[in-house]
């Protein structure tokens, strides 16, 4: 067993689960989506990205790309949330919530790709 | 580049994760810890404000407690997080700086820069392994001709010197072992436009490695290698190395040539080194016995060649038995009067100071001259830096092995036809060489002698090519006419004309040129510029051929042809040209 692989897989999976947990619920209902969960998803996703740095294999490069996409989506979601709470006149209404959730749903898709790739790579290793 | 970038990312993984963790914990803390607003109501920071606060706290800019003054709990958390973030940043920045000072990283960066610089070279280039005195001189001379080079050397100081040296073209240099195939690879040995590989390192084994690698990649490509032993020379020759230069052997050859055939030697010396302005007058009597100090690899070559040419010689050597010096060798360095007298210096014609130590060589020359003032002195100069001392000693003939090799390689690269000329020169009498030398001196006067070559074809001499294609006669002598006034001769004359397998020394100026003729010309540098004009510009060549300055532009050509037709028509009708 390789500790590095454990940590690596842990963060990639955790990014997906947090992301999934946040997206779950009615898309425009603020009560269904927790801000801490989005925060956790973003932080874990950032860490997962950095962990993929420096891998020169082809799979490593694609994993890094999917992670960067997830980061981008989550950061946009967070920015929209911050805008809704602090600047928008209407506050965190249903429309705002819907766009936040749809952005993070995009990140979810990307995270799923990451995990699928990870599983595929694991299957390829015979020993 | 990709390599360095990935290394950078991999090394920075931990510092970046550290920063992310410290920041996220810090932000989360500020969001969770309860505070109060200006009215005293309970209030909690949202993520936006928390991130804002941590951003300026982490970088210790410090705008104060915003948006409302902090509670005790918030302040306690701030204290902890200030230290955490500052340490996190210090750690990360320290890591980045240490990475940039890391030797392996710097080496990798230099390698990458070198590889990139080689990759962008579009023109043909030569790969030179070994940047010692020979390499330096060769790179300089090639650079003067606008020939691109790439340099590899095992010592960083040599490469630093290359970087600091002012050369016209940017010459990429790398400190690396030239025998390493990967290094040769990034130095462009597999590139199409690498037209030659020159191995000049001090290590015969490295030279062998470089030559073999190049021949394996491309057997057609020219490989020139230095060799210091007969074994290496044989080995290099076995896989088709195009030119093998043994510094000691060529040094001895030059020496014998200068003794036996002084005029030929002066001519080849002039060709090898155009800046050699002093036309050393040939020694009057070189027929007697010679004293040679030093019987190393160099002495052995002299021994063999002197025997072949029946020149009597006495050797002086410190360690005769160890080095296998011939019987009759005098024991000693040669710097002492006693040793020289033992070698019977009074009756000798000349002395060769051929030890590997420049100070010894100078001392030998001065001591010998004290005993016999009119002795012919030949000194081996090992280091280029000692040139002024040898000049000051007024040595009759200074032999600098590193210079000889560099010049020979340069000639082979820049004007291969000159090597043909030198081969033919060997077969001629020395008296013939004397005539040629007088002619050269008359043409070049005080200027350095330049030699250059043309091949009659579309690329090299478009004007001649086009004229021949139009069935016009171009004579060899046309080349040597001044394009400004064709009655004047340029300060140059043809040395050699090569047509197929046949080579003609000093060809007749009335000879008619043919396609694919190769012409070697020597003369002043200024003459070369005018001659290039003649070979390039159709109108200039026509003026020189016919003496008529014909109109060049399409319109004028058309008008003059119309006028000519009209004149002919009038002549035909009236019998009167006007």
- Distance CA(B518)–CA(B507), nearest Å, equals 12
CA of B32 to nearest chain A CA: how many angstroms apart?
A: 10
Quote the Cα angle for B20-B22-B23, to 5°.
65
Would you state the pLDDT for residue B265?
79
Most confident of A70-74, B141-145, B210-214: A70-74
Strand duo B502-505 + B397-399: pairing = unpaired
Mark yes or no for CB contact A82/B48 under 8 Å: yes
Within 236-295 of B, beta carbons closer than 8 Å to A belong to: none
CA of A100 to nearest chain B CA: how many angstroms apart?
A: 15
Residues in A touching B21 (Cβ below 8 Å):
47
Least CA distance to A50: which residue of chain B? B13
Neighbours of B412 (CB within 10 A): 18
* CB proximity list for B571: less than 8 A, separation 6 or greater: B577
Mark yes or no for CB contact A53/B27 under 8 Å: no
Does residue A73 carry a pLDDT above 90?
yes
- Distance CA(B292)–CA(B251), nearest Å, equals 13
CA of A69 to nearest chain B CA: how many angstroms apart?
A: 18
CA of B24 to nearest chain A CA: how many angstroms apart?
A: 7
- Rg (C-alpha) for chain B, rounded Å, is 36
User: Is the Cβ of B95 closer than 8 Å to some Cβ of chain A?
Assistant: no
Least CA distance to A43: which residue of chain B? B24
* CB proximity list for B200: less than 8 A, separation 6 or greater: B128, B129, B130, B132, B134, B135, B138, B207, B225, B226, B405
User: Is the Cβ of A68 closer than 8 Å to some Cβ of chain B?
Assistant: no
Taking residues B75-104, what's their average pLDDT? 89
* CB proximity list for A9: less than 8 A, separation 6 or greater: A118
- Distance CA(B223)–CA(B241), nearest Å, equals 5
* Cβ B92 vs Cβ B15: under 8 Å: yes
Most confident of A70-84, B319-333, B355-369: A70-84
Residues in A touching B29 (Cβ below 8 Å):
none
Neighbours of B380 (CB within 10 A): 26
Token pair, residue A50, equals 């950095």
Q: Which of B21, B27, B47 sits opposite A82 (nearest CB)?
A: B47
- Distance CA(B467)–CA(B465), nearest Å, equals 6
User: Is the Cβ of A81 closer than 8 Å to some Cβ of chain B?
Assistant: yes
Residue A121 DSSP SS3:
helix
Residue B43 DSSP SS3:
strand
- Distance CA(B451)–CA(B421), nearest Å, equals 11
Please tell me what DSSP assigns to residue B386.
Answer: G
* Cβ A33 vs Cβ A102: under 8 Å: no
* Cβ B372 vs Cβ B346: under 8 Å: yes
User: Is the Cβ of B21 closer than 8 Å to some Cβ of chain A?
Assistant: yes
Would you state the pLDDT for residue B274?
64
Confidence of residue B2 (pLDDT cuts 50, 70, 90): low
Mark yes or no for CB contact A50/B17 under 8 Å: yes
Condensed to tens digits (0 to 9), the pLDDT of residues A56-69 reads 778 888 888 999 99
- Distance CA(B9)–CA(B430), nearest Å, equals 70
CA of B22 to nearest chain A CA: how many angstroms apart?
A: 11
Greatest Cα pair distance in chain A: 59
Give phi and psi for B523, each to the nearest 5.
165, -160
Would you state the pLDDT for residue B433?
84
User: Is the Cβ of B56 closer than 8 Å to some Cβ of chain A?
Assistant: no
Tokens 């969770």, located at residue: B32
Mark yes or no for CB contact B20/A86 under 8 Å: no
b/e map of A34-64 (b: 16 or more CB within 10 Å)?
A: ebebbbbbbbbbbbbbbbbbbbeeeebeebb
- Distance CA(A65)–CA(A59), nearest Å, equals 10
On whether ipTM exceeds 0.90, the answer is: no
Condensed to tens digits (0 to 9), the pLDDT of residues B18-73 reads 999 999 999 999 999 988 888 888 888 888 889 989 988 877 677 788 788 888 88
Nearest-CA neighbor of B379 among B269, B262, B251?
B251
User: Please, is B465 exposed, middle or buried when counting C-beta atoms within 10 Å of its C-beta (0-12, 13-18, 19+)?
Assistant: buried
Mark yes or no for CB contact A39/B27 under 8 Å: yes
Q: Which of A50, A51, A54 sits opposite B6 (nearest CB)?
A: A54
Taking residues B142-155, what's their average pLDDT? 87
3-state percent helix, strand, coil for chain A, nearest multiple of 5: 80, 0, 20
Helices B462-469 and B538-546 pack at an angle, to 10 degrees, of 60
Would you state the pLDDT for residue B22?
92
Does residue B508 carry a pLDDT above 70?
yes
Mark yes or no for CB contact B28/A39 under 8 Å: yes
Token pair, residue B205, equals 């084994």
Confidence of residue A4 (pLDDT cuts 50, 70, 90): confident
- Distance CA(B231)–CA(B246), nearest Å, equals 11
User: Is the Cβ of B66 closer than 8 Å to some Cβ of chain A?
Assistant: no
Give phi and psi for B180, each to the nearest 5.
-80, 120
Condensed to tens digits (0 to 9), the pLDDT of residues B388-404 reads 888 888 888 888 877 77
For B294, the enclosing helix (H) or strand (E) is none
For the residues of B110-134, what is the DSSP string, one character each?
HHHHHHHHHHT--S-EEEEE--SHH
Residue B185 DSSP SS3:
helix
Token pair, residue A120, equals 């595929």
| Residue of B11, B17, B23, B50 for testing the chain A interface, max A β-carbons within 10 Å | B17
Would you state the pLDDT for residue A99?
93
- Distance CA(B135)–CA(B114), nearest Å, equals 18
Does residue B85 carry a pLDDT above 50?
yes
- Distance CA(B386)–CA(B547), nearest Å, equals 54
User: Is the Cβ of A46 closer than 8 Å to some Cβ of chain B?
Assistant: yes
Mark yes or no for CB contact B16/A43 under 8 Å: no
- Distance CA(B13)–CA(B9), nearest Å, equals 6
Mark yes or no for CB contact B48/A46 under 8 Å: no
Nearest-CA neighbor of B297 among B419, B382, B178, B212?
B382
- Distance CA(B511)–CA(B477), nearest Å, equals 8
Q: Which of A43, A82, A86 sits opposite B20 (nearest CB)?
A: A43
Residue B327 DSSP SS3:
coil
Q: Where are the alpha helices (DSSP H) in A52-86?
A: 58-86
Least CA distance to B5: which residue of chain A? A54
Q: In Å, how far from its chain's centre is CA B168?
A: 11
Would you state the pLDDT for residue B59?
75
Taking one residue from A and the other from B, the number of pairs with CB-CB distance under 8 angstroms is 44
Mark yes or no for CB contact B9/A43 under 8 Å: no
- Distance CA(A35)–CA(A45), nearest Å, equals 15
Sign (positive or negative) of CA dihedral B144, B148, B151, B157: positive
- Distance CA(B253)–CA(B231), nearest Å, equals 19
Please tell me what DSSP assigns to residue B373.
Answer: T
- Distance CA(B446)–CA(B565), nearest Å, equals 52
The answer to whether the predicted template modeling score (pTM) of the entire model surpasses 0.80 is: no
Condensed to tens digits (0 to 9), the pLDDT of residues B308-348 reads 888 888 888 888 777 777 777 888 887 888 888 888 888 88
* Cβ B425 vs Cβ B264: under 8 Å: yes
* Cβ B372 vs Cβ B311: under 8 Å: no
Mark yes or no for CB contact B13/A46 under 8 Å: no
Neighbours of B275 (CB within 10 A): 7
* Cβ B91 vs Cβ B18: under 8 Å: yes
Strand duo B376-380 + B397-399: pairing = parallel
Mark yes or no for CB contact B48/A50 under 8 Å: no
Residue B189 DSSP SS3:
coil
Rounded percentage of chain A residues whose pLDDT exceeds 90: 52
A106 or B143, higher pLDDT: A106
Would you state the pLDDT for residue B243?
86
């Amino acid at each position: 067993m390789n500790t590095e692989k454990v940590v690596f897989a842990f963060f990639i999976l955790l990014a997906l689960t947090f992301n999934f947990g946040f997206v779950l619920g009615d898309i425009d209902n603020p009560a269904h989506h927790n801000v801490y969960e989005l925060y956790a998803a973003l932080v874990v996703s950032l860490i997962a990205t950095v962990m993929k740095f420096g891998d020169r294999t082809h799979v490593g490069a694609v994993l890094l790309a999917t992670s960067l996409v997830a980061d981008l989506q989550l950061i946009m979601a967070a920015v929209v949330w911050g805008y809704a709470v602090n600047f928008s006149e209407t506050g965190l209404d249903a429309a705002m919530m819907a766009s936040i959730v749809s952005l993070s749903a995009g990140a979810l898709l990307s995270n799923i790709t990451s995990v699928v790739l990870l599983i595929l790579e694991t299957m390829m290793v015979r020993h | 580049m990709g390599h360095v970038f990935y290394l950078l990312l991999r090394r920075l993984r931990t510092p970046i994760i550290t920063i992310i963790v410290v920041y996220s914990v810090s932000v989360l803390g500020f969001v969770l810890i309860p505070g109060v607003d200006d009215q005293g109501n309970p209030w909690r920071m949202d993520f936006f404000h928390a991130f804002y606060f941590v951003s300026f706290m982490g970088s210790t800019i410090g705008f104060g407690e915003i948006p409302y003054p902090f509670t005790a709990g918030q302040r306690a958390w701030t204290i902890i997080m200030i230290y955490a973030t500052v340490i996190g940043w210090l750690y990360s920045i320290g890591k980045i700086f240490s990475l940039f000072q890391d030797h392996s990283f710097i080496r990798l960066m230099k390698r990458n820069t070198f590889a990139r610089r080689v990759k962008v070279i579009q023109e043909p280039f030569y790969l030179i392994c070994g940047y010692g005195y020979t390499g330096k001189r060769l790179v300089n001379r090639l650079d003067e001709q606008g020939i691109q080079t790439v340099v590899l050397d095992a010592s960083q100081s040599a490469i630093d010197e290359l970087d600091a040296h002012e050369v016209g073209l940017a010459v990429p240099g790398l400190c690396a072992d030239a025998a390493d195939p990967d290094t040769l690879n990034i130095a462009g040995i597999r590139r199409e436009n690498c037209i030659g590989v020159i191995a000049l390192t001090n290590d015969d084994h490295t030279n062998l490695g470089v030559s073999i690698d190049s021949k394996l990649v491309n057997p057609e490509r020219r490989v020139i290698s230095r060799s210091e032993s007969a074994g290496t020379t044989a080995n290099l020759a076995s896989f088709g190395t195009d030119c093998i230069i043994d510094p000691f052997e060529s040094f001895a050859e030059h020496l014998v040539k200068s003794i036996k055939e002084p005029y030929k030697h002066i001519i080849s010396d002039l060709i090898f080194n155009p800046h050699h302005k002093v036309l050393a007058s040939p020694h009057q009597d070189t027929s007697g016995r010679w004293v040679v100090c030093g019987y190393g690899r160099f002495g052995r070559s002299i021994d063999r060649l002197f025997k072949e040419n029946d020149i009597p010689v006495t050797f002086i050597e410190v360690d005769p038995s160890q080095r296998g010096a011939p019987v009759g060798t005098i024991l000693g360095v040669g710097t002492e009067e006693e040793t020289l007298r033992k070698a019977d210096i009074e009756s000798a014609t000349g002395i060769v100071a051929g030890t590997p130590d420049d100070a010894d060589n100078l001392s030998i020359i001065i001591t010998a001259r004290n005993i016999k003032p009119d002795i012919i002195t030949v000194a081996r100069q090992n280091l280029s830096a000692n040139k002024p001392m040898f000049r000051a000693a007024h040595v009759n003939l200074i032999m600098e092995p590193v210079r000889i090799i560099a010049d020979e390689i340069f000639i082979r690269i820049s004007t291969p036809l000159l090597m043909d000329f030198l081969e033919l020169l060997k077969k001629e009498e020395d008296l013939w060489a004397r005539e040629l030398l007088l002619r050269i001196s008359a043409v070049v006067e005080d200027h350095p002698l330049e030699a250059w070559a043309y091949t009659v074809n579309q690329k090299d001499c478009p004007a001649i090519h086009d004229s021949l294609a139009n069935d016009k006669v171009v004579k060899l002598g046309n080349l040597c006419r001044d394009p400004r006034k064709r009655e004047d001769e340029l300060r140059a004359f043809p040395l050699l004309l090569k047509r197929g397998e046949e080579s003609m020394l000093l060809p007749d100026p009335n000879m008619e040129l043919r396609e694919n003729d190769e012409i070697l010309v020597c003369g002043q540098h200024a003459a070369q510029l005018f001659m290039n004009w003649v070979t390039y510009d159709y109108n200039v060549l026509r003026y020189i051929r016919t003496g008529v300055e014909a109109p060049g532009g399409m319109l004028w050509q058309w008008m003059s042809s119309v006028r000519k037709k009209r004149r002919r028509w009038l002549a035909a009708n009236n019998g009167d040209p006007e």
